[in-house]
């Protein structure tokens, strides 16, 4: 694919203005574009070499720069001889040129005299201009200038670049801890070497790539300040010339790099001056970094890679996916550990390299920032992680639990699910439905293991409060964010915003936070102290809760905007019930199941007099029926459209209901509610002959003549849930579809009103808590990007692309043959009690159950794509991935002046080494 921005010219270039000859000549002196240097293309006003520097300097300053020649140090005496200018006036011009970034300076000579240098564009003038906030504010086109000049000169030569980079651009330097035990490492491979070399001379300065991308709305939402650590004389330059630099100590430099590693940023050093000099250590986000782009877009890792390559110890790997999530190069992807049925291992594809085939635009990946986030190989990975809507690292936390690492297991779960205790009681366990062990006997009791782990949150001494990982060196973010609705989606959104460094405020109209997990799930299923414990964790993270406040009634979104709120996440769920549209449904004794559950949550002494009929066939209807028993109804009859074999309720829920003497009957729909003096006396049902049509759409058909009548005093309608908007969106231009569901982007959850985001049941319709939790995390990601100006809401997001391995083509020979463990129940808790009878597994049972896991998944490394940054090693908690020094020649650092010699030589070597392919007519 060719450059989509080929020929780009900013609107600042005016056609009616004559070209400035001095700028054109200076552009030719500095540029590295081969087409211009070879005379195949001329610099014009439309060339980035022109429009990128023309606004920054006068013609006189351009003439000064031309006389300096590129990368030739000039002392003041040299400059006076070259220009013939008065010293004071010359110094004034040099200062101005230094401030806008056209020239730099240092004291690298025997006399330690100040000397000025005309740098290349990248690394050099384009970056320096983007580091100066005043320049960038006045001339935002400098952002695109940097982008253009970090790409155009390299398009044709990058496939020929040898290991080590040949003095071009930047070079990945590994996480120090990842190579500290490597006996064969050399000094230049260690960050400590460079910190020692420039001891005491460091300055934190803005990241020019982050600043540049923001000028055309492709920012990554990091605060740009401080991520680039200038060293040596460059530290003075960025401090003295308005580049946003500030002097820092070695300890501060190390703290910045540690925070960078926590965020998954890659360490890089400048690589244009040979092995004895660098001028910066950068901490790079692949979503914006131009140096990493060079190797990723062109699929030419030699441009960036260190001497190291990641390798996986498959025996230790549990496919948790943390390395995959953070790999900047897309080199690690989830695959499988189990053999195929024939005993062979799955063979995984590798990215071809320029040494193996002729290279051209067809080998480029323009959307590399999205492609390198793909999680799973097409042949699949662990079914549990794949099936879970939040893609929790199931195999990982089971392994940790087996090792007694319960706190670590809880931390790992919370990477994707901040409410594991709640989910332990209400999850529909799609992971277990998909579990490979289920093809042998019974699935691993994943949910019970998670519940055991999550119970630590009930104790203030053992609960896990996540460490905040903030992509800013200024501390936590101050932008005010409102989360409206304290159900699973809202709580999840608030949790991940807090983890990112915000202090969101959650508005909840009810007296207690929790949404439907409090007011829609009875305590005998989920005790409320469990919900409160998880909410207490959010409070400790800085989340503020304002309960009893209905947005749209007590305060409006417009008023919250006036108070400084920058974004709104609406996760109010579907808290209203639906009627069935039959005569008599407005009689006394008729209530929606949702309303009934809300009432019994607030008042467990609520009484139902007489027999009850519950209409509905889902898990909520089961909860309604069981609650009716506890409210004193002598007989509860549950009737659904679906017959027993296709009822939406899970089989174990049906079994529990029947054990409590609830009569369940399927295949009937309501026809009429019988009343007397306005009170319910019974209900007539008609036979349902089919629930869905031939296309699978809900379209029930009935035999009107086949009826049955059930006498009763109470009818509870549990046939669906509805959104109760109230006045929440009054005055807001949110679009709706399918009744009153808000229209929003499927990836970002942003509505037509830019600062309003939605998620959970209010967007998707009624689903399960884990679905809402997954949506809440995505909402937090979007809001973080939205409130940080000029950031992309879509670029580089985790696509959650998971494929389940083929369970028909695996070989499982040796496994623990223990039976599935089941928790005990509390004695003396009967069907008349709202207390939960559920127990967790014992620790002994946990040790038995965790050994039943087959360990299906593993991480796969494509060595051709790995750039050896070592970020993966900082995320792995299983000692499963390490760096090995496979490419020692990648540590050979050259001077920029020698690059053509090495690039052309390597290009010829590659051409001769490629397999000969005869051309066909």
Structure-token match 């690492």, residue found: 405
Q: DSSP 3-state assignment of 622?
A: helix
Q: What does the pLDDT read at residue 261?
A: 98
pLDDT of residue 920: 45
- pLDDT tens across 324-359, in order? 999 999 999 999 999 999 999 999 999 999 988 889
Spatial neighbors of 505 by CB under 8 A, at least 6 apart, are: 480, 481, 482, 483, 543, 544, 545, 546, 565
Instruction: Compute the average pLDDT of residues 547-558.
Output: 98
Number of Cα atoms under 13 Å in the Cβ half of residue 364: 18
pLDDT at 913: 83
What percent of the chain has a predicted confidence (pLDDT) above 70?
99
**pLDDT at residue 260, as a whole number:** 98
**pLDDT for 917 beyond 70:** no
Residue 580 burial (CB count, 10 A): 18
Lowest mean pLDDT: which of 128-142, 174-188, 468-482?
Answer: 174-188
Per-residue pLDDT for 1 more than 70? no
pLDDT tens-digit readout, 88-143: 999 999 999 999 999 999 999 999 999 999 999 999 999 999 999 999 999 999 99
Comparing CA positions, the residue from 488, 490, 457 lying closest to residue 728 is 490
- Tell me which residue has tokens 């400048």: 270
- Distance (Å, rounded) from C-alpha 545 to C-alpha 858? 40
pLDDT above 60 (res 918): no
The answer to whether 243 and 131 are in contact (CB under 8 A) is: yes
Fold assignment, 579-721: FAD/NAD(P)-binding domain (3.50.50)
pLDDT at 916: 64
Does residue 731 surpass a pLDDT of 70? yes
So what's the pLDDT on residue 3? 87
pLDDT band at 181 (very low <50, low <70, confident <90, very high): confident
Q: Is 890 helix (H, G, I), strand (E, B) or coil?
A: helix
**Angstrom distance (rounded) from CA 212 to CA 216:** 8
Residue 921: predicted pLDDT = 45
User: 633-682 pLDDT, tens per residue?
Assistant: 999 999 999 999 999 999 999 999 999 999 999 999 999 999 999 999 99
268 vs 150: CA distance, rounded Å: 15
Name which CATH class applies to 1-156: mainly alpha
- Local structure of 863: helix, strand or coil: coil
* CA–CA distances in Å: residue 508 to residues 13, 418, 512, 515, 576: 53, 19, 8, 8, 15
Q: Which residues of 772-800 are buried (b: 16+ CB within 10 A; e: fewer)?
A: bbbbbbbbbbbbbbbbbebbbbebbbbee
Q: Which pTM does this prediction carry?
A: 0.95
Give tens-digit pLDDT for 33-58.
999 999 999 999 999 999 999 999 99
As a whole number, the mean pLDDT across the chain is 95
Q: Convert the pLDDT of each residue in 732-767 to its tens digit.
A: 999 999 889 999 999 999 999 999 999 999 999 999
Is residue 533 within 8 A of residue 569, CB to CB? The reply is no
Per-residue pLDDT of 555-603, as tens digits, reads 999 999 999 999 999 999 999 999 999 999 999 999 999 999 999 999 9
Measured CA to CA, the distance from residue 613 to residue 183 in angstroms comes to 75
Domain coordinates in residue numbering, the chain = 1-156, 480-575+723-787, 579-721
Nearest to 349 by CA among 379, 373, 370, 319: 379
Same topology, domains 480-575+723-787 and 579-721? Answer is yes
Distance CA 870, CA 594 (A): 51
Give residue-wise pLDDT tens across range 801-853: 999 999 999 999 889 999 999 999 999 898 899 999 999 999 999 999 999 99
Question: What is the C-alpha end-to-end distance of the chain, expressed in Å?
Answer: 25
Cα separations in angstroms, 912 against 95, 159, 359, 889: 50, 14, 14, 20
Q: Is the pLDDT of residue 424 over 90?
A: yes
Q: Tokens standing for 336?
A: 């499988």
pLDDT tens digits, residue range 387-397?
999 999 999 99
Average pLDDT over residues 514-540: 95
Beta-strand pair 202-205/228-231: antiparallel
Name the pLDDT band for 685 (thresholds 50, 70, 90): very high
Q: What is the pLDDT of residues 300-312, one digit of tens each?
A: 999 999 999 999 9
Give dist(CA 343, CA 813) in Å, integer. 10
Q: What is the pLDDT of residue 16?
A: 85
Distances in Å between the Cα of 706 and the Cα atoms of 205, 669, 693, 809 are: 79, 11, 20, 49
CATH architecture designation of domain 480-575+723-787: 3-Layer(bba) Sandwich (3.50)
Q: How far apart are CA 224 and CA 210, in angstroms?
A: 6
Distance in angstroms (rounded) separating the CA atoms of residues 435 and 443: 5
Name all contacts of 184-189 with Cβ < 8 Å and 24+ positions apart. Answer: 184/885, 184/888, 185/307, 185/885, 186/888, 186/891, 188/275, 188/891, 188/893, 189/306, 189/307, 189/308, 189/891
Length of the chain, in residues: 921
Secondary structure class of 408 (helix, strand, coil): helix
């Amino acid at each position: 694919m060719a450059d989509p921005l080929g020929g780009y010219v900013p609107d600042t270039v005016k056609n009616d203005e004559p070209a400035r000859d001095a700028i054109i000549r200076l552009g030719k002196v500095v540029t590295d574009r081969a087409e211009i240097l070879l005379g195949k293309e001329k610099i014009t006003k439309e060339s980035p070499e022109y429009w990128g520097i023309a606004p920054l300097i006068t013609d006189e300053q351009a003439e000064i720069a031309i006389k300096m020649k590129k990368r030739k140090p000039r002392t003041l005496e040299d400059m006076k001889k070259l220009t013939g200018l008065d010293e004071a006036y010359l110094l004034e011009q040099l200062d101005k040129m230094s401030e806008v970034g056209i020239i730099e300076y240092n004291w690298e000579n025997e006399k330690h005299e100040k000397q000025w240098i005309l740098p290349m564009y990248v690394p050099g003038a384009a970056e320096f201009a983007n580091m100066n906030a005043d320049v960038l504010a006045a001339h935002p086109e400098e952002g695109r200038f940097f982008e253009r000049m970090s790409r155009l000169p390299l398009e044709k030569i990058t496939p020929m670049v040898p290991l080590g980079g040949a003095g071009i651009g930047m070079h990945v330097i590994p996480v120090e801890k990842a190579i500290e035990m490597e006996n064969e490492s050399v000094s230049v491979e260690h960050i400590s070497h460079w910190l020692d070399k420039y001891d005491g001379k460091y300055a934190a300065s803005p990241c020019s790539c982050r600043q540049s991308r923001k000028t055309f709305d492709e920012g990554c939402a990091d605060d740009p300040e401080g991520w680039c650590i200038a060293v040596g004389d460059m530290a003075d330059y960025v401090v003295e010339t308005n580049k946003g630099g500030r002097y820092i100590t070695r300890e501060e430099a190390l703290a910045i790099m540690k925070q960078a590693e926590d965020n998954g940023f890659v360490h890089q050093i400048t690589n244009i001056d040979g092995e004895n000099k660098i001028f910066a250590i950068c901490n790079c986000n692949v979503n914006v970094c131009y140096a990493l782009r060079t190797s990723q877009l062109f699929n030419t890792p030699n441009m960036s890679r260190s001497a190291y390559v990641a390798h996986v110890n498959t025996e230790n790997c549990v496919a948790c996916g943390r390395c995959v999530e953070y790999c900047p190069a897309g080199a690690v992807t989830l695959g499988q550990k189990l053999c195929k049925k024939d005993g062979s291992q799955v063979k995984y594809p590798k990215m071809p390299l320029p040494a193996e085939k002729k290279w051209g635009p067809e080998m480029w990946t323009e959307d590399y920032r999205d492609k390198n986030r793909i999680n799973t190989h097409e042949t699949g990975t662990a079914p549990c992680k794949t099936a879970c809507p939040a893609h929790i690292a199931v195999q990982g936390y089971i392994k940790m639990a087996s090792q007694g690492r319960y706190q670590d297991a809880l931390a790992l779960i919370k990477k994707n699910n901040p409410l594991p205790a709640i989910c332990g009681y209400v999850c529909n366990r799609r992971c277990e439905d998909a579990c490979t062990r289920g093809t042998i006997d019974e699935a691993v009791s994943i949910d019970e293991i998670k519940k055991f782990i999550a119970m630590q949150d009930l104790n203030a001494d053992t609960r896990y409060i996540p460490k905040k990982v903030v992509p800013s060196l200024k501390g936590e973010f101050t932008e005010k964010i409102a989360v409206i609705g304290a159900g699973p989606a809202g709580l999840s959104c608030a949790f991940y915003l807090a983890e990112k460094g915000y202090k969101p405020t959650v508005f909840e109209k009810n007296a207690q936070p929790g949404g439907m997990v409090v007011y829609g799930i009875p305590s005998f299923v989920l005790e409320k102290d469990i919900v409160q414990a998880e909410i207490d964790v959010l409070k400790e993270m800085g989340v503020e809760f304002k309960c009893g406040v209905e947005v749209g009634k007590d305060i409006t979104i417009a008023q919250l905007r006036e108070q400084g709120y920058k974004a709104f996440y609406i996760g109010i769920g579907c808290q209203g019930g639906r009627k069935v549209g039959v005569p008599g449904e407005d009689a006394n004794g008729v209530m929606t199941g949702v309303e009934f559950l809300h009432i019994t949550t607030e008042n467990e002494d609520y009484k139902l007099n007489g027999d009850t009929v519950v209409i509905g066939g889902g898990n909520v209807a089961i909860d309604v029926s069981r609650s009716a028993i506890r409210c004193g109804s002598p007989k509860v009859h549950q009737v659904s459209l679906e017959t027993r074999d296709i009822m939406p309720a899970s089989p174990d829920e049906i079994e529990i209901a029947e054990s409590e003497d609830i009569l369940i009957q399927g295949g009937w729909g309501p026809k009429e509610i019988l009343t007397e003096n306005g009170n319910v006396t019974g209900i007539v049902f008609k036979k349902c002959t089919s629930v869905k049509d031939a296309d699978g759409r809900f379209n029930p058909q009935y035999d009107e003549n086949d009826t049955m009548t059930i006498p009763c005093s109470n009818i509870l309608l549990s046939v669906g849930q509805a959104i109760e908007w109230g006045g929440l969106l009054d005055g807001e231009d949110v679009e709706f579809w399918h009744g009153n569901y808000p229209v929003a982007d499927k990836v970002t959850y942003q509505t037509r009103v830019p600062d309003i985001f939605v998620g959970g049941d209010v967007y998707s319709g009624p689903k399960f808590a884990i679905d809402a939790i997954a949506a809440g995390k995505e909402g937090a990601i979007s809001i973080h990007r939205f409130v940080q100006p000029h950031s992309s809401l879509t670029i580089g997001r985790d696509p959650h692309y998971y494929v389940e391995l083929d369970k028909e083509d695996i070989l499982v020979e040796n496994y623990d043959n223990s039976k599935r463990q089941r928790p005990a129940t509390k004695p003396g808790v009967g069907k008349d009690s709202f207390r939960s009878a559920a127990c967790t597994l014992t620790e002994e049972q946990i040790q038995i159950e965790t050994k039943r896991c087959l360990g299906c998944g593993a991480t796969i490394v494509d060595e051709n794509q790995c750039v050896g940054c070592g970020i993966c090693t900082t995320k792995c908690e299983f000692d499963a991935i390490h760096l090995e020094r496979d490419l020692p020649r990648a540590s050979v650092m050259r001077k920029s002046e020698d690059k053509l010699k090495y690039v052309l030589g390597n290009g010829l070597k590659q051409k001769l080494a490629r397999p000969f392919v005869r051309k066909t007519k």
